[in-house]
Amino acid sequence: MQACGAKERKGRKVSTITQESIRKEFSDWVDAHWDEEMGIVAWRDQLVASGWAVPSWPERWFGKGLPVWADQVVAAVIREKGVVGPPIGGGMNLAAPTILVHGSDEVKEKFLRPTLVGEVKWCQLFSEPGAGSDLASLSASAVRDGDEWVVNGQKVWNTSAQYADLGMLVVRTNWDRPKHHGISYFVLPMQQAGVEVRPIHQMNYHSSFNEVFLTDARVPAENLVGDTDDGWRIARTTLAYERTFNTLRRPNFRGDENALGRTLREAKEEAERHFTTYVWYPQRAGRPDLAVERARDFSVASDLVVRQAITRLYSFSKASEWTSMRAQAARALGRAAGPEGSLGKLAASEVARMSNKVHTLISGTQGVLKDGDSPLDAVIAEVLVSTSAQSIAGGTDEIQRNIIGEKILGLSREPEAKNDK
């Protein structure tokens, strides 16, 4: 158990806060307040008002001022009891914590509560056709027009943009400053005439990503997050959260599906809509968990070459998992994002490539079939065409190697352009 210092809570002084004490207090609160028929928004309103939706946040901003690790304790209780927790996705995991750190009180008042109760959906508007890994080279721009900013440009690889109410937007607001210092961060209303969303049809038959075209789109000046031209620093906060949150953990809904109350039904429908976008993400990671099963199905588990390949994959997969756990543990202790995230991201890419090779070794040409005799209803085929995405999304392998070289190995930075000093 880990303890923190004395805190004043509910009129009583608690000298030691432990995981067990938080678990019991929240569990008792759920037992006293959970209602299967009140509806998902009304339930989350109670959760947010009580401070249990984000217990590590300040009390002024819907939290309880508890240690960062309290969030994980509360999430575990929510899963164990099968009740509804905060919303899933980028709004809760990327936008809200970024706004908490950098937003003005006005921005926090406007966006935090609707995000925490799930009234609004978010997307991320960072990458552009000419600015992905080198995000600071972005060319989408915003020009001040009275109480608004007028935005023009194009964004790409925008997950769930077709469903979003709001977008985390970075654009250039000053062309006279070095590229990392002329960027601003806004909350963009997506439902307006100046925003056009077009789905990208992927080679694995999914359309999780979009292109977003901004033509004289308007953003209220009050939607600026942080200061003008300081958006790069704020975007790095969002990216740090992106490399550590798990978008694939499904909520645990217990009991007979036909007997679920209104709150759980609405939560289940929300989860189904969310995970439709991410249904292929496990395949992107390579599905190393299927390697042994596939080797047995194809009667090659005793083949020495296959055994060596699977053992190597398993070893690297566990190392990648433990590296990610190390990064998550650092976050849970309240430490700033370090190079552990880059190590974990790079390791995950290597696991995906190794998985691809192992599945090819086991299944051979049959692995690419999509119909008929396709292995595991074409899951293996989806693995083989999806794993390349792992080395690109969330920062390319090359970018992660640069970070590792500079932050861990102490190598000098790559040469910069003269106008980027």
Q: Give SS3 for 147.
A: coil
For residue 40, give the H/E element and its range: helix 40-50
Average pLDDT, the chain: 86
pLDDT at residue 336, rounded to an integer: 63
Measured at the alpha carbon of residue 317, what is the angle toward residues 315 and 322, in degrees to the nearest 5? 95
Name which of 263, 237, 267, 284 is nearest 93 in CA terms: 237
In this structure, the answer to whether residues 411 and 289 fall within a common structural domain is yes
The total number of structural domains that make up the chain: 3
For 189-214, what is the mean pLDDT?
91
- Give the CATH number, domain containing residue 333: 1.20.140.10
99 occurs within a structural domain: no
Biggest CA-to-CA distance, the chain: 72
Q: Give SS3 for 220.
A: strand
| Residues contacting 23, CB < 8 A, separation 6+ | 73, 76, 77
pLDDT at residue 194, rounded to an integer: 96
Question: What are the DSSP calls for 93-135, one per residue?
Answer: IIIHHHHHHH--HHHHHHHHHHHHHTSS-EEEE--BTTBSSSG
In this structure, the answer to whether residues 292 and 397 fall within a common structural domain is yes
Report phi then psi at 185, rounded to 5. Answer: -115, 125
pLDDT at residue 333, rounded to an integer: 65
Binned at pLDDT 50, 70 and 90, residue 12 comes out as very low
In this structure, the answer to whether residues 356 and 414 fall within a common structural domain is yes
In this structure, the answer to whether residues 215 and 255 fall within a common structural domain is no
96 occurs within a structural domain: no
Q: Is the CA virtual torsion 199, 204, 208, 211 positive or negative?
A: negative
Query: In this model, does residue 170 exceed pLDDT 60?
Result: yes
Query: In this model, does residue 419 exceed pLDDT 70?
Result: no
In this structure, the answer to whether residues 219 and 287 fall within a common structural domain is no
In this structure, the answer to whether residues 236 and 271 fall within a common structural domain is no
84 occurs within a structural domain: yes
Range of the structural domain that residue 177 is part of: 120-242
Measured at the alpha carbon of residue 38, what is the angle toward residues 35 and 44, in degrees to the nearest 5? 85
In this structure, the answer to whether residues 413 and 288 fall within a common structural domain is yes
7 occurs within a structural domain: no
In this structure, the answer to whether residues 267 and 327 fall within a common structural domain is no
In this structure, the answer to whether residues 263 and 155 fall within a common structural domain is no
Query: Mind listing the pLDDT tens digit for each residue in 300-353?
Result: 989 999 999 999 999 988 888 787 777 766 766 666 666 777 787 888 888 889
